Every structure is written in structure tokens, then in C-alpha cells.
Structure 1
Amino acid sequence: MADTTEAVTGEAGTGKQPRNVRVVLLALMIAMMLAMLDNMIIGTAMPTIVGELGGLEHLSWVVTAYTLATAASTPLWGKLGDMYGRKGVFMTSIVIFLIGSALSGMAQDMGQLIGFRAVQGLGAGGLMVGVMAIIGDLIPPRERGKYQGMIAGVMALAMIGGPLVGGTITDNWGWRWSFYINLPLGAIALIAISVVLHLPKKRSQARIDYPGAALLTVGITAIVLVTTWGGTEYAWTSARIMELIGIGVAALVGFVFWQTRAAEPIMPLHIFRSRNFTLMSVIGFIVGFVMFGATLFLPLYQQSVQGASATNSGLLLLPMLGAMLVTSMVAGRITTSTGRYKVFPVAGGALMTVGLFLLSTMDTDTTRFTSGVYMAVVGLGMGCLMQITMLVAQNSVEMKDMGVASSSTTLFRTLGSSFGVAIMGALFNHRVQDVMAEKAGATGSKVTEQSATLTADALKQLPAAAREAYQHAVSSGTHGAFLLGSVVAVVALVAAVFVKEVPLKGAGPKPDGGPADGDDTAAAKAPVTEAV
């Protein structure tokens, strides 16, 4: 591979950051906000979309198509950035995302919307990977923590503000503007990246690993479909789910086999020889598992048991998301100032385990204040883990594998979220059905069938016995889901204990963009990789 460098503003991987790094980071934050905010906004617009376009039976595919395209494209975007240069690949992903947004806003039926959402998801995969990889190019590992902490803050803000923004846009401008709003924001990010960011251009003689990309795409698609359809569209033991599991396993086994022979593998297996990288992949999977499970079941508990409205239930997540935001930024700054990071995954794993166990103790009498405290504990744990996992993963590979490391870490977190929603959801539904059948008999079965549309106001209209039974059932379901989450979180804690604290090289720039104090350029160019 031969590299040709053009007007480099910031030398990738060194301690010499560009003077306009803040402008670049602002553009990157906007791009990350677009990718994270989109699904959050669309969720609140769904009822209006169905009312206009119809196709209620295909509603879940509006989200599934986006998730599938994002997960399947993530590794490819990372590899393309490593092979052909980060800037052009990242800008391409922004353009694809904006095209998908514009087309989604113009959709005339549910089929079109699902297809255009897949285009959006294809671009979103490149947005998330590109942001992390570009930060890895611009900022040395020692300085990277505080910037990735800011990115984690953006993610938390998107989760907090998404439903509120989506509701406001839909009520005042119409659901189509839930997609069109991406266009001006994306244009700002695109222009800023085009003008301000200058990274080395790369010319790779190697060909893209199309067989590997195809096998990985089939495997990821099958896995996501299993976790999406299992227990909802099809029984877990149905022939369709078994077929998908077989296809997914076969494709992934074939992918691993092919990666050992490909000239330029999509996901080079040598990166997993690093103990830290492998452990961060495990921890990232668990963070995704827990975080998305929590954000799914907590609002349901708050609405069904504590009587919160849909809007208020989103606001009641503030203790968790706020704690996650603050802790992410604090952890990043401490890592930057001290160069030490192992304490954060260990503390994060412990706090997350304790917090999830506390959430599992909630019942029909738990106050909002108490549940808020429990959520804050979980948020503190997730904040310690969110971006530290990416930082350590990037620090565990050579610069040439930065994109692959970023995309792999993102992929494992995405897969974790799919598994978390599916497995915790299956346990939740099973317990709800059992309790309703036990406490309310035939009436309970009817209420359970309508549970997806039971708002706090609708619950008040139920007979007292049915309402009380349903509240106990939801409480029992959340108990099981969060207890499972706490057990899974123990794995993250154990993995964190075995992390080896490899020094983060490079002291980073002075505020004026001048040379770094004590800059170890050579070390920063090639992050230290520990032995297994």
C-alpha cells in the first residue's frame, strides 16, 4: 500500500493536532448526533407515519431495516477508511445518509419508507465508525479520552432529547420533517469536514474483500433477524428462526475461515490476539446489551406501574442518561490527565452490576425518587465504560488497523443491543404472561395482548383488578429482565479485571494547538500493543 499525503492539517496519530481541531470535532459531533438521534426521533413519529402511509403490520421494519443496514455496513466502512483514507469515505457516508433522509421524507408508502431507511442505515454505519476513527487519527491516545468522552455526551443527549425533538417536530411540522431536519445539519457537517479536515490520502493496491464482506453481511443479517423476530413474529423454536440461526452460524464460520486467507481481510483476525482488544469487544457487547435493554423496559415500567406519561417517562430517564453523560466526560478528562484507565472499566462493571440488581428489586410500591437513584447508579457505570472501551481498543492496534478496530468495537456494541432487547424482552414477556394468567385469567390474556398500546391513561380505564394484575406483571417482568442484566454485567466486571493497563502515549497539544508537552511522536504513531 502506498500513501500520498496532501496538505495535512493534523498528522494522524501524532501529538500534533490541527489548530482548527475544535471545528473538526464540532462537525464530528454533529455527524454522531445525526446517527444517534435518528431512531430516537422516528420512534415518536411512528403513530403519525402509520396513520398516513398505512402498513401497520410492517411497522417494525422501519427500525429493523435501519439497524440491519447499519450493523452490516459497519465493518466495511471501517476497512474502506483504512484502505482509501478516512476523509473521503466519511464524507461519502454523510452523503448516503442525507440521500436516505431526503428519500425517507418523500416516501409515499411503507415499502418505500423501509427501503429508504435501509439507505439511511447504510450511511449511518459509516458515520459512527468514521467519527471514532477520525478522532483516532487526529488525537494521540493520551489525549483521546476527553474527546471521546464528549462524543459519549452527545450520544446521551441524543437519547434524552430524541423523543422530545421528534414529538415537537411531528406535532408542528409533520412527520416528514423528522427526516428533513437531517439535511441542514448534515450539510453543515459535510462542509466543515470538507474545508477543515485534512488527512493523508491513501492509495491501496489491494482489492476489497468482497467474499468476506458478503459472508459477514449474511451472518450479521441473520443474527439481527433472529433477535428481532424471535418471540415476536415467530416462536423461538420455529423453523424460520432455526433456519436463520443455521444460516447465521454457517456464514460467520465461513467468514472466519475466509479471513485467514483473504489478501486484505475486512476484519483481520490478528487484532483479536490483543488481550485488551478482545476484552473491550466483550465489554462493548455487554454495554450494548444492558443499555438498550434498560432504555426499553424502564419507560414501560414507569408508564405502567408508576403512572408516568410517555413524555414524562422519557424525562424520568434523565438520572441514568445524565449520570452517563457526566461520568463519560469526567472519565475522559481523568484518563487524559493521568494516562491511566483500568480503574474505569472495573468501576463501571461494578456499578453497572449493582445498579441493575437494584433495578431488579423495584416493585409496585417503588417511588420515582428511588428508581431514579437506581438508574443513576447504572448510568454511572455505563459512563465509565462507554468510550473507554473504544479508547482502549484503538490503543491496542496499529494505526493501519484504526478503522477496523473502531468498526469492530461499534459492531459488537450494536450486536449486544440486539441480543439485549431480544433476550431481556423474551424473559420480560414470559413473566408478564405468566403473572397475568395467574392473577387475572382470561381477562389477563386479553390485557396482555393489548399491552403494546396500553398507555397510562388507557390503564386507568381498566377494571381495578385487571389494572393491579397488569402492574404486578410488569413489575415481575422488569425484575426478571434487570436481574438477568445484572448477571450479564458481572461478565463485564470480570473482563475488566483482566485488562492490562498499557500506557497511553502522547501528551497531546497545548490549548493553542502548539506542540505537545512531552510528546512521544514515535510512540503515538503506533499505539502500544500488549502481549496476550
Structure 2
Amino acid sequence: MTGMDGSVGRVRARAGAGARAGEGSAVQTTNRITGARRWWALGAVLVTMFFSSLDQTVVSTAMPVIIGELQGFSLYAWVFTAYMMASAITVPIYGKLSDVYGRKPFYVIGLSLFLLGSVASGAVRSMGQLIAARAFQGLGAGAMLSMPRATIGDIFNPRERGRWMGVISSVFGIASIVGPAVGGWITDNLGWRWVFYINLPVALLALGAVLYALPTVRTEHRARIDWTGSTLLVVGLVLLLLALTWAGVQYPWGSPRILGLFAGAFLFLGLFVAAERRAEEPVIAPELFRNRIFASTAAVALLISLGMFGSIMFLPLFVQGVLGETAQQSGHILTPMMLSFIGGSVVGGQLITRTGRYKLQAAVGALLMATGMYLLAKMGPTTAPGAVVRNVVIMGLGIGSVLPLLNVAVQNAFPYPLMGMVSATQQFVRSLGGIIAAPILGTVLVNTFSAELLQRMPTALRAAMAKLPAAERAALANPQGLINAETQAAIRARFAAFGSQGGELYHQFIEAVRGSLAAGTARLFAVGFIFAVLAVVSTLFLKEIRLKRDEFFTDPDQV
């Protein structure tokens, strides 16, 4: 890598003298983990990854009950957004500082903040308090997103990492399978507050493993946190997220409020880029994006995240709302997707470890994902559940085979002392995809659904609906009614008030809603297909450097 200066160059310069000193001792000058301790460290990484991944799926399962008690449906998305935003912005900070001070203190800080946030989340009395508590949790979750991948780099050389990055990614898939069942059982038997309290013993176990297995790194350098850049980034992302969430739903796309939000977002993000170029130690080093491998892997990660999160979030709505299956049956359809994701991660990791190459696998995996998204976009009310399973398995194999190798490729392209920074910055880009996927795809779904519903309702049904108050018409047109038995009963009772034709009008209305929802999800998956195609194109620009072995750790000037 050439042209790297600023903080990147300084970190590299500091690394050379201490790259081999103190390895295997209690106090070291690098993060390198050798000997028997590396297996304890690997165990700590796996526990931490499983714990953080499980939390998201468990909380998702409990959210309908939480909303029912705290009365905050309009704030539903912000419970997840606040968590993801806080974790995303702290990921590059943790990664950069861990290159200097070692991984251990930031594991400890992250797990401690997460524990406190869990306690606060379980004690809330309003949705506003829950959003604030989840944001606090997210500050700790940033460490659990960035540290494990960097720690794998501390334990294994690039050639070995393919195998273990696949295992790391499979942990996410296992958590996604186990999480809904665990969350449902806890919510039904212990109450939703225990969804958060159950984190305490698991986090303490992970904390003990980290304290025992990870080395303490001693350094004379004192890193600085780029508070200005971090603040500008947070403000810019929040404004962008608000614009994408409200545009076309609460306010027209061309309204002054939406245009003002977009303008503010681009202004603050532009100021962030300018500030990072001048910062002595930027939170996200602009020089990283000059590296072709980093830029292309970041683009692939962002595009895959955009498509992946959309399928995970909205596929259950299709299965339950369009196909009429139960929530349990929709879970059964999502399980094969996660199993194929695990299979793709493990097999793909083994392949890049054996061959030392990754570009062809990245292209094939992205193509498989695009194929799966295309098939999802072709689904409708007559699609058989077996066809849905086939489609998600194809997509899961593709995603699973690509995501682990992206981190391996980018770590292989940079000097070892920059491990935390490059891994965390790539993770930030991936998290960004998850943050913006929900509002973009949600807007596509809502707008398509609303337009289709007007066209699909027969004249008699439109006339009957016109007699209802506007607020009641809006409530009846909510597609969530299709997957909520109580709401369906209320809709049926409301249509019964129209007299003898009420039953027929009800069935016409349900069919119109079902067809409109099918059209909305098809459009949504079509957008995901576009993201996947762009991911395939991005893999073609991925430069391949054969994966290095142990010499990776001993040459701080390598490119």
C-alpha cells in the first residue's frame, strides 16, 4: 500500500520495533497471541460473538410484547436504530485504540457498558427510556462487533484466518436460529424484562475469558480520540436516517422538511470528510479508501448488508401476510436460510485457507446471493413454501461464502499493526448497510403497498371504505393486520357493520391487502436484487493478493 500517511503511517512506524517483542508474555508490546493461550482467546471470541449476535434476535422476538406494554409502536424502529447507530460509530474508535493499547481493555469496557445497558433496558418504564438504554447498550456493542475479528487476526495468520472467519460468521447464523426460540420462551415464561437481564451471566462469562486469555499491551504512545469527527459523523447519519425513514411516509419526498434533512445530512457528512483529512488521528482514516482492496471489499460488504438485512427483516412479513402461514412456520422457513449461511461460511472458509485465494469465491458467492434475491422478487401469493425455502437457501449460501472472506482479504492487504483499524472500519461500513436498509426498504414497501391497494379494491369496497373516518381507513390499511389475529377479528367486526354485504366486503378487502403486500415485498426484493448485482460488479474490481502465512506478522512494512 502506498500513499498512506497521517495516523496510518504513524501507527505503522510505531509497530516495527515492537512487533516481535514480548510475544506470549503477560505484558506485551503487540496484540499477537501465541501458544496455548490462543485457544482460550479463541473461546473468548466465540462466546463474545455468540452473546452479541444472540441479543439482537432475542430482543426482536420480544418487541411485540414490549410495544404492547410500553405503548410505542411509532417508535418501534428506533429501538433497533439507536442500538445500531451507537454501535456503528464506536466500532472504528474501538478498533483504532485497540491497535495501540491492546484489545483487552476495550473488550472489558465494551462488555461493562453492555451489562449496564442491559440492566437499564430491563428497568425502563417508557419507549423513550428503552431507546436511550439501547443506545447505551450499543456503545458497548461496538467493541463486540470490532474486537473479535481483530482478535482472530492476532491469533492466526491470513492463510489460517479463512477457516476461522468462517466459524465466526457461522456463530451469527446459529444465534439467529436459536435466538427467536430463546426470546419467545423467556418472554412467555419469565417476562420480557428478562430478555435483557439474561445477558448478565453470559457477559460475565465472556468477561472472565477475556481477562484470562488476552494479553496486556504496554505502550508509550497516547492515542487521541477524534471527537470532532465522531460528532459530525453521528449528526450526519442521524439526519440521513430521519430523511430516509420519513420520506414518502410521513412527509412527501419534495417537502421542505425532507429536503432540509437531506441537505443537513450531506452538509455534516461533508464536514466530517473534510475534518478527517485534517485530523491528526482521524476516527476513519481517509487513506484506507485509497487502497483498492479495502475500497472494493467495503463496497461489497455495504451492498451485501443492504440486501441481507432486507430479506431477514421483511421475509417473515411475506410468509405470514401473503402466504398466510403462522409465525412459527415463518421461523421454519428462515431456519434453512441460516443453516445455508452457516454451511457457506464454513465451506468457504476452508476453501480460501486451502487455496490462499478469494476473488473467484467472492464473485460466485455474490452471484448466488443475486440469484436468490431475483427468485425472491418473483414470489407472489401462489408461491409454495418449498419454493421460498429453495430461494433463501440459495441466497444464504451466497452470503455465507462471501462475508468471511472480505475481512480476511482486507487484513491480508495491510500491515499487522493496522489490524484493528482496518477491520473496524470495514465493520463500520457493513453496519452502515444495516442502518440504512430498514428505512430504504421500508419506504419501498409502504409506498408500493399504498399505491397497489387503491388499484386493487373493487368499486363497492371503495365506496364502503369512503364512509369511514380517515384515521380508521388508515388503520384498516395496515398490512400488519394480516399477521395479527386480534386485529383481523376487529377488521371483520368493523365490516360486519356494513350489513349483509359486510362478509363479502371483508374478504375482498383482505384479498386486496394480501395482493398489495405481495406487490410491495416483490418490489422490495427487487431493490435487494439491484444491490446484489452491484455487489457482483464490485467483486470484479477486487484485487487479489495471495494470502500470507506467518511472515505476515514479522514484516510491518508489507503491502
Task: Compute the TM-score of the two structures, normalised by the length of structure 2.
Answer: 0.86
Give the C-alpha shift of residue 313 in structure 1.
0.9
Q: Partner amino acid for 2:162?
A: G
Aligned-pair distance for 1:381?
A: 1.0
AA matched with 1:464: H
What residue is the counterpart of 2:376 in the other structure?
A: 359
Give the SS at the match of 2:306. Answer: helix
Question: Deviation digits for residues 161-210 of structure 1, max 9, x if unmatched?
Answer: 22221111010111111001111111001000101111533342343222
1:362 positional shift: 0.8
Displacement of 1:75 after TM fit?
A: 1.9
Note the 1:135-214 alignment, pairs <5 A. 135-198=152-215, 200-214=217-231
Greater Rg over alpha carbons, structure: 2
SS at match of 2:435: helix
Q: Deviations over 1:329-378 (max 9, x none)?
A: 11111111221111221001111111111111111111000111011111
Structure-1 separation of matches of 2:203 and 2:228: 32
Work out which of the residue numbers 341, 346, 368 in structure 1 matches 2:363.
346
Identity of counterpart residues, as a percentage?
35
> Helix, strand or coil for the counterpart of 2:219?
strand
After alignment, is 128-137 or 46-55 more displaced? Answer: 46-55
Are the aligned partners of 1:71 and 1:220 in contact in 2 as well (CA < 8 Å)?
no
Matches within 5 A, 1:42-57: 42-57=59-74
Query: Once the 2 structures are TM-superposed, how far is the Cα of residue 62 of structure 1 from its aligned partner?
Result: 2.0
Distance 1:413 1:429, change over 3 A: same
Could you tell me which residue of structure 1 aligns to residue 139 of structure 2?
Answer: 122
Contact 1:359 1:374 in 2 (8 A): yes
Preserved CA contact (<8 Å) 1:224 1:415: no
Match of 2:296 among 279, 282, 285: 279
Provide the rounded CA distance (Å) in 2 between the counterparts of 1:459 and 1:369.
Answer: 26
Letter of the 1:30 counterpart: V
- One-letter code of the match for 2:529? S
Aligned to 1:450: 478
Opposite residue 480 of structure 2, the aligned amino acid is: A
C-alpha deviations, 1:300-326, integer Å up to 9, x for none?
Answer: 110012221122212211222111111
Aligned to 1:511: none
Equivalent pair of 1:505/1:527 in contact (CA under 8 Å): no
> Could you tell me whether the CA contact under 8 Å between 1:6 and 1:201 is conserved in 2?
no
- Distance apart, 1:446 and its partner CA: 4.7
CA distance in 2, matches of 1:268, 1:398: 15
Match of 2:534 in 1: 491
1:45-86 Cα shifts (integer Å, max 9, x gaps): 223223433444434332222122112222222222123222
C-alpha contact 1:459 1:467 (8 A) present in aligned 2: no
Structure 1 equivalent of residue 547 of structure 2:
504
Aligned CA-pair RMSD: 2.4
Aligned CA distance change for structure 1 residues 51 and 424 (closer, same or farther; 3 Å): closer
For residues 239-263 of structure 1, the C-alpha deviation after alignment (integer angstroms, 9 at most, x for no partner) is 3332332222122211221222221
TM-score, structure 1 length as denominator?
0.90
The answer as to whether partners of 2:49 and 2:168 remain within 8 angstroms in 1 is: yes
My pick for the range that moved more, 384-393 or 200-209, is 200-209
2:215 matches 1:225? no
**Are the equivalent residues in 2 in contact too, given 1:356–1:486 (CA < 8 A)?**
yes
Gaps of 5+ in 2: 1-10, 467-472, 493-505
| CA distance in structure 2 between the partners assigned to 1:448 and 1:395 by the alignment | 54
Which region of structure 1 is more displaced relative to structure 2, 39-48 or 295-304? 39-48
- 1:520 equivalent to 2:551? Answer yes
Cα 1:84/1:451, change in 2 over 3 Å: same
Q: Distance in 2 between matches of 1:40 and 1:230?
A: 28
Q: Secondary structure at the match of 1:240?
A: helix
Q: Distance in 2 between matches of 1:35 and 1:266?
A: 23
In the alignment, is residue 427 of structure 1 matched against residue 470 of structure 2?
Answer: no
After TM superposition, give the deviation of residue 123 of structure 1 in Å.
0.6
Q: Return the match for 1:34 from 51, 56, 64.
A: 51
Distance across 1 between alignment mates of 2:296 and 2:386: 35
- Counterparts of 1:57-68 in structure 2, within 5 Å, are 57-68=74-85
Task: Tell me which of 511, 514, 522 is aligned to 1:471.
Answer: 514
Aligned residues of 1:160 and 1:318 also touching (Cα < 8 A): yes
The separation in 2 between residues aligned to 1:401 and 1:412, in whole angstroms, is 17
**Aligned residue pairs, count:** 515
- Residue of structure 2 aligned with 1:299, choices 310, 316, 323: 316
C-alpha distance in 1, partners of 2:95/2:264?
24
Q: Structure 1 stretch 451-460 or stretch 70-79: which is displaced more?
A: 451-460
Superposed displacement of residue 493, structure 1: 0.7
Q: Does 1:8 align with 2:8?
A: no
Letter matched to residue 519 of structure 2: S
Deviation sequence 1:472-499 (CA, Å, 0-9, x none): 1122112211122112211111111121
Cα offset, 1:231, TM superposition: 3.9
Alpha-carbon shift at residue 520 of structure 1 (Å):
2.8
Corresponding residue of 1:254: 271
The letter for the 1-side match of 2:427 is T
Once residues 113 and 499 of structure 1 are traced to their aligned partners in structure 2, the CA distance between those partners, rounded to angstroms, is: 42
Equivalent-residue separation in structure 1 for 2:537 and 2:307 (angstroms) = 16
Aligned to 2:417: 400
Structure 2 CA distance for partners of 1:426 and 1:341, relative to 1, 3 Å: same
Q: Bigger shift: 138-147 or 455-464?
A: 455-464
